[in-house]
Amino acid sequence: MARRKRGLNIHGVVLLDKPAGISSNRALQKVRGIYQARKAGHTGSLDPFATGMLPVCLGEASKTAAFMLEAGKRYRATARLGEATTTGDIEGDIIQTCSVALLDAEFLIRTLKSFEGQIEQVPPMYSALKHEGKPLYEYARAGIEIERPARRVTIYQLDLVDWQSPNLTFDVHCSKGTYVRTLAEDIATALGSCAHLVALRRTAVEPFESSPMVTLEQMQEAREQGGLEQFLLPVDAGLSGWPRVELDIDQQGRFEHGNRFEYTPAESNAEQVRVYGPEDNLLGLADLDPSGILKPLKVFNL
């Protein structure tokens, strides 16, 4: 007989301001523990030294996490020019020192802007990408270098924030899969130097650009005062850009049983939609194909 998971049926999205010094999974478990939630998931890891927005999906919201991985992200990063490390950040050992030229703001801005658009990045060895079933960082720790093909990512905007030699601070709005550590190293190369990140903060994950974050300490305090619900966003908050369809009571029954059926009006192109019942109740996620067939992707148990 399968063991039933312990915890409460808490459903929603919490925008955690992850502290430095812990992994994303550890931060996730802390949020889950504070809420005593039965299920939890997150939408993309932050390095342990990094801080900032980590959307934590509790309960049925965890079914949306995989779809939120496609979201664009915003970061503020500080790179120290003149030193490269094994990991590309402060957690690694220094493996190279380089000279740092006198750089003026105009040249820095021009160099940063040259990285906007689609670029090719070689993923770092110290990453969670897998090779033959093992994450690359395990090979790196064993001193094994694995050839990695370059991947195309998009830098939507890259702005200079501050330059106090040797520290260069910049804001970046980028697509999923972008390694800011690698971006910093590539920028340094273009400036005739080398670099590693000394600070990294994720300031936003789409579509939460204007949403406030909450710290673990604030959650703990709210728990003691019985006010944790204030930090819970709706289950589908991370998919607010998806079109919404509304079903009648008969269609709701078919959807809840995982059945596909004809839905009108049909959209001109296949797309993913949020599905609501006649009482404005969220039912799940679906594909709506050009022929007008609604195909359940995820059915929520709310």
Judge whether 190 and 30 are in contact, CB under 8 Å.
no
The H or E element spanning position 153 is: strand 151-164
> For strand 271-276 and strand 244-246, is the pairing parallel, antiparallel, or unpaired?
parallel
Q: Between vectors from CA 238 to CA 302 and to CA 157, what angle results, nearest 5°?
A: 175
| Beta-bridge partner residues of 240 | none
DSSP state, residue 233: B
Q: Which residue has the tokens 């689609």?
A: 118
230 φ/ψ angles, rounded to the nearest 5 degrees: -65, -20
Interatomic CA distance for residues 302 and 283, integer angstroms:
8
Catalytic residues: 47
Question: What is the spatial distance between Cα 56 and Cα 210, in angstroms, rounded to a whole number?
Answer: 17
Q: What are the Cα distances from residue 236, in Å, to 180, 207, 263, 281?
A: 28, 11, 21, 11
